[in-house]
Amino acid sequence: MKIDPTSSVDWYSLGQAYLQTGNYSGAEQAFKKTNELSPREATLALGQTYHKMGRYQEAIKELESAIADHHDPENVGYAYLELGAVYADQKQYDQAQEQVSALSSVDQSLATQLSSYIDQVKNPQIVAAYSTGFITTEGPGTQVSDIDPSLSEPGASKDFTMHFIFSKEMDASTVASPASWGITKAGWSNSGGAYNWGLPIAPTEVNVSPIPVSVVYNQDSLTADVTFQIVQNASGDGTLDPSHLVFDFHGQDVYGNAMDPAADEYSGISMIV
């Protein structure tokens, strides 16, 4: 730069060096200087820099300009890739997916790369839940002996399993830890209303442990098998409101992302919440 401060190539190279070493302010100034000397040459690089700085709207402006600019058609694919990543980082997944679609006709390998990145940053969700032995749709006052005949005897206990399917690969250690799960009675803040519809709870009502007995995670099917126990009361007339039992999970995916709060729990009355 000292030898020839009018070289746009050298300014661009300096900007890339700053960008790679985390000196984003230096990169911004170098790329702006590049564009002064050679208009539009560093538009993509400036968009990448603003993305790194968290200045998302400025990044979008530069990247959209790079896409619309036919001056540098070789970089259009990378501009789509970076723009999709910017949207994904803002959790604007529909817009990010639009860039995947656009990339598919430009560079399929970059489209695949962007799809992978979106999956990486997206918060995991519970997408389905079911049980073959525990009917979650039964309402208030359900006799636990009707849930399973083995619970007819006073003090009898029975294990049940709920199966939860996740939207993406999860961190196996957090899923398999019973402490990452909770089983509670729904309150009015829960979708679907409060336990027993908020009415006084009968003295025959049994309690379910807030922590499962065990959890098994199947990475191939992205499924967690959550086993919990129901214990009949001493008089053999225990009741329960299965539809308002809330199963929640507060673990993370393999990338360390926390659960999407819009889909991190399940109850029979509200399904996935």
Q: Any idea which of 13-22, 186-195, 215-224 has the lowest mean pLDDT?
A: 186-195
Give the three-class secondary structure for 166: strand
- Answer yes or no: do 134 and 255 share one domain: yes
Cβ 130 vs Cβ 163: under 8 Å: yes
pLDDT given for residue 250 in this prediction? 96
Residue 3 within a domain: no
- Answer yes or no: do 117 and 153 share one domain: no
Is the predicted pLDDT of residue 61 greater than 70, yes or no? yes
pLDDT given for residue 194 in this prediction? 95
Residue 214 within a domain: yes
pTM: 0.85
Rounded to 10 deg, the angle between the 24-37 and 8-20 helix axes is 160
Question: Which band of pLDDT confidence, cut at 50, 70 and 90, is reported for residue 273?
Answer: confident
Can you list the pairs that 111-116 forms with residues at least 24 positions away whose Cβ atoms lie under 8 Å? 113/81, 114/80, 114/81, 114/84, 114/85
Cβ 44 vs Cβ 62: under 8 Å: yes
- Answer yes or no: do 143 and 251 share one domain: yes
* Mean pLDDT confidence for 33-55: 96
What is the spatial order of strands in the sheet that 245-249 belongs to?
Answer: 181-185, 245-249, 265-267, 271-272
Residue 156 within a domain: yes
- Answer yes or no: do 139 and 267 share one domain: yes
- Answer yes or no: do 117 and 131 share one domain: no
- Answer yes or no: do 229 and 259 share one domain: yes
Residue 2 within a domain: no
Residue 237 within a domain: yes
Collect all residues with Cβ–Cβ distance below 8 Å to 231 and sequence separation of at least 6.
155, 156, 157, 206, 238
* Domain end (from 83, 104, 121): 121
* Mean pLDDT confidence for 97-106: 95
Give the up-direction half-sphere exposure of residue 101: CA atoms within 13 A in the CB hemisphere.
6
Question: Which band of pLDDT confidence, cut at 50, 70 and 90, is reported for residue 71?
Answer: low
Residue 26 within a domain: yes
* Domain end (from 69, 96, 121): 121
Domain count, the chain: 2
- Answer yes or no: do 116 and 154 share one domain: no
- Answer yes or no: do 172 and 210 share one domain: yes
pLDDT digits (tens, 9 = 90+) for 244-256: 999 999 999 999 9
Domain that holds residue 108: 8-121
- Answer yes or no: do 154 and 107 share one domain: no
Collect all residues with Cβ–Cβ distance below 8 Å to 151 and sequence separation of at least 6.
144, 145, 157, 158, 230, 232, 238
Mean pLDDT over the full length of the chain = 95
- Answer yes or no: do 116 and 183 share one domain: no
Handedness of CA 55, 56, 60, 61 (dihedral sign): negative
- Answer yes or no: do 165 and 254 share one domain: yes
Q: Which of 228, 101, 254, 103 is nearest to 167 (CA)?
A: 254
- Answer yes or no: do 201 and 226 share one domain: yes
Residue 213 within a domain: yes
